[in-house]
Structure 1
Amino acid sequence: MIKDRGKNGRITREAAAWHALLNDTHPRIETEDLEAFSAWQSDPSNKAAYDRIDDISRGLRALQDDPDIRQATAEALARGPERRRFVMRLGTQRVRVVVGSLVAASVVASVAGGYIALRPTYATEVGQTFSARLSDGSRLTLDTDSQVRVRFSGGERRIELLRGQAIFEVAHNAQRPFIVQAGDTRVRATGTRFEVRRIGQDVRVTLTQGSVEVVDRDAKAKTWRLRPGETLALKPAGASIATPTSVDIQTATSWTTGTVTFQDVPLDEAVAELNRYSRDKIVLGDGAPRTRRVSGVFSTGDNDDFIAALSAYYGLQSDRKSNGDIELQPKGGPKT
């Protein structure tokens, strides 16, 4: 019995630590952290403990405006992570929480701020992709060098795409709209599958299933409603005249299978796309046919086949630089 109690206490502490990490207001959760959490949660006992703590967090939603809760929040945060426990007063009743101040602070702070569900930042490095199930049942898949910030509340599911590209498979919930903010562009869906890409200030939305509404600050009086198989490219200078166009979904989302597909794409654009997946960049030297069109399917993160095809087809030679980049130029040097 004592042994079981000790094990249960350890599991609860571990669950509290995971909950605190995932609910931190300003975290940067790395891929290895998420993989470790997934492995830890594969044990049914661990998952049950985590779910209990998450249920407590959700149950406190109704108390978010209670002044005693707000006071407890301030006290818990002021004590910092060194404290092992804290006491919360609800009216005349004192409730002792012994799962550790990390989870205590995160739970109470979430209640005081009006947010209960997970609020992490997910990010991938160059060449990485990552997929995760969100707390509402939706699925998020990140492409290379991408970052999103999740902000779920009781009435809205909001995700901010800070950079890169992501596919969202949205669990239907008409009472809690699913919104993706990418710079000045906002995409709203209730149950659908779509992709949002943000490179600099340029945003592209591609719909694969369902329907979405897109608005942009630079086109205030306009709302786009996409149909499956349509994409919308928005640039700051021309958002007001943007028009949805048809797209091949398999081509547009081929990155989810570890490939990129080009269909009659200018060479310089193809190079820029492949460079997103590798730290060693392809550089087009003087005389390289930048505007020639490229078609084909190429593996992400491994540019050897692409370079070999270009070299053979366009008569180019490759030169690896000291920083790892590979420069392509006509054989014999630039033509004058």
Structure 2
Amino acid sequence: MHDAHPPRNVSAKSLEDAGQWLLDLQASPERFDEFDRWLHASDDHFEAWAQVSRVLHALEQLPPTTQQQWPRPARRRLPLLAAACISALAVCAALVFNPGWRADYSTATAETREVTLSDGSRLTLAPRSAINVSIDGAQREVTLVRGEVFFDVVHDAQKPFEVRSNDAVIRVLGTAFDVARAENGLAVEVRDGTVGVNKQYRLTAGQRLWIDRQSGVGTQSSVAPTEVAGWINGTQFFENASVAQVVEQLDRYQRGWIVIKDPALANKRVTGLYDMRDTRRALQALVAPIGGEVSAYSPLLIVIGNTTSATEK
């Protein structure tokens, strides 16, 4: 079906700038105010941003699975094709720095996946997660490359089950637990059984461990066993988590990027139960009580800012 309102022509420079902003905002969200000034500088910029966003959104509906399928930039075309190529460049950049494409098992945005290993253990991968698996006569080992996984491990006293992520080693004989790898640390939550982490910590059902990536310090707390891996059913409970931590989780269910303009807002602590399947509603519920607001600049860019600063602008 053809678009009833075909995009108007825009300059190649505006299209190139819009494509570059897609890359820059992902790498440096603190540059949002600079992007905002560029966007409002001319109608040409608005139209270029809209075209690039639409094409990239369409490309993300069909994620490539091998390097040979990656879209490649070709600028010797008409402006609309230029927008598509610049958008494809953004997809390529994401794939190059995305370890998921070369993992044994992985998931895309808003996708979960159940995997049964050869020993009978069952794993559930959260969105944007990836693992490598090594199971043979001598070992049972899973490397968490990124994201979050719930493990329901078959008991085998002769062959412990290990999960590795960065410098953390989680060791069990047979139990049910969740491991989440975040930008600033690693979380382990136990639903059933006993879990050892780095030979320093021993967790039982209803216990949670957070290991800060920068300091390496571990902090233990309690969690209701029924709330462990609640995301499998679509909701997730956060207790005394930063806004940035919650947004990082919600971002796995949102195509594109979520930008937090104010670092102070990002660091505020919250407690609540959020529906991961409705990103926009969850973000509103997250920031509205603490003076934040949610704005969408395109299907690919959601911005969280302070209500007061938005009013003064």
Interval of TM-score (by shorter of Structure 1 and Structure 2): 0.5 to 0.7
In structure 1, the residue matched to 2:124 is: 141
In structure 2, the residue matched to 1:191 is: 174
Deviation at 1:173, TM superposition (A): 1.2
In structure 1, the residue matched to 2:95 is: none
Q: Is the 8 A contact 1:317 1:331 kept in 2?
A: no
1:18-70 per-residue CA deviation (whole Å, 9 max, x = no partner) reads xxxxxxxxxxxxx9x9xxxxxxxxxxxxxxxxxxxxxxxxxxxxxxxxxxxxx
Change (3 A) 1:232 1:287: closer
Q: 1:308-327 alignment to 2 at 5 Å? A: 308-309=284-285, 313=289, 316-322=292-298, 324-327=300-303
1:107-151 per-residue CA deviation (whole Å, 9 max, x = no partner) reads xxxxxxxxxxxxx81101121111122111110111111111111
Deviation at 1:270, TM superposition (A): 2.4
Q: Which amino acid aligns with 2:261?
A: G
1:296 aligns with 2:272: yes
Which of 204, 216, 219 lines up with 2:187 in the alignment? 204
Question: Superposition RMSD on alpha carbons, in Å?
Answer: 3.1
Q: 1:166-245 alignment to 2 at 5 Å? A: 166-200=149-183, 202-215=185-198, 222-239=199-216, 241-245=217-221
In structure 2, the residue matched to 1:111 is: none
Name the SS of the counterpart of 2:169 in structure 1: strand
Q: 1:1-20 alignment to 2 at 5 Å? A: none
In structure 1, the residue matched to 2:139 is: 156
1:291-310 per-residue CA deviation (whole Å, 9 max, x = no partner) reads 54434322224223224435
1:139-180 per-residue CA deviation (whole Å, 9 max, x = no partner) reads 011111111111111021111111111111111111121111
Task: Name the CA distance, whole Å, in 2 between partners of 1:121 and 1:186.
Answer: 19
Q: Is the 8 A contact 2:276 2:282 kept in 1?
A: no
Task: Name the CA distance, whole Å, in 2 between partners of 1:237 and 1:312.
Answer: 30
Q: Which amino acid aligns with 2:203?
A: L
Name the SS of the counterpart of 1:272 in structure 2: helix
1:80-124 per-residue CA deviation (whole Å, 9 max, x = no partner) reads xxxxxxxxxxxxxxxxxxxxxxxxxxxxxxxxxxxxxxxx81101
What TM-score do you get using the length of structure 1 for normalisation? 0.55
Change (3 A) 1:316 1:237: closer
Q: Which amino acid aligns with 1:321?
A: Y
1:275-334 per-residue CA deviation (whole Å, 9 max, x = no partner) reads 222124333335984454434322224223224435764565543214621223316726
Q: 1:114-125 alignment to 2 at 5 Å? A: 121-125=104-108
Task: Name the CA distance, whole Å, in 1 between partners of 2:184 and 2:310.
Answer: 36
Deviation at 1:211, TM superposition (A): 1.0
Q: Is the 8 A contact 1:278 1:301 kept in 2?
A: no
Q: Is the 8 A contact 1:204 1:231 kept in 2?
A: yes
Name the SS of the counterpart of 1:150 in structure 2: strand
Change (3 A) 1:280 1:259: farther
Deviation at 1:193, TM superposition (A): 0.9
Deviation at 1:244, TM superposition (A): 2.7
Change (3 A) 1:256 1:223: same
Q: Is the 8 A contact 1:128 1:144 kept in 2?
A: yes
Larger Rg: 1
Q: Which amino acid aligns with 2:296?
A: R
Question: 5+ unaligned residues in a row in structure 1: which ranges?
Answer: 1-30, 34-119, 216-221
1:205-255 per-residue CA deviation (whole Å, 9 max, x = no partner) reads 22221112211xxxxxx522211111222234433x424322233334211
Task: Name the CA distance, whole Å, in 1 between partners of 2:146 and 2:297.
Answer: 28
Task: Name the CA distance, whole Å, in 1 between partners of 2:291 and 2:178.
Answer: 36
Percent sequence identity is: 33
Task: Name the CA distance, whole Å, in 1 between partners of 2:165 and 2:262.
Answer: 35
Q: Which amino acid aligns with 1:142?
A: L
What TM-score do you get using the length of structure 2 for normalisation? 0.59
Question: 5+ unaligned residues in a row in structure 2: which ranges?
Answer: 1-62, 66-102
Which of 211, 221, 241 lines up with 1:265 in the alignment? 241
Change (3 A) 1:178 1:308: closer
Q: Which has the higher contact order (CA 8 A, sep 6+)?
A: 2
Task: Name the CA distance, whole Å, in 2 between partners of 1:224 and 1:282.
Answer: 34
Q: Is the 8 A contact 2:256 2:301 kept in 1?
A: yes
In structure 1, the residue matched to 2:96 is: none
In structure 1, the residue matched to 2:310 is: 333
Q: 1:42-57 alignment to 2 at 5 Å? A: none
Q: Which amino acid aligns with 1:245?
A: S
Change (3 A) 1:317 1:233: closer
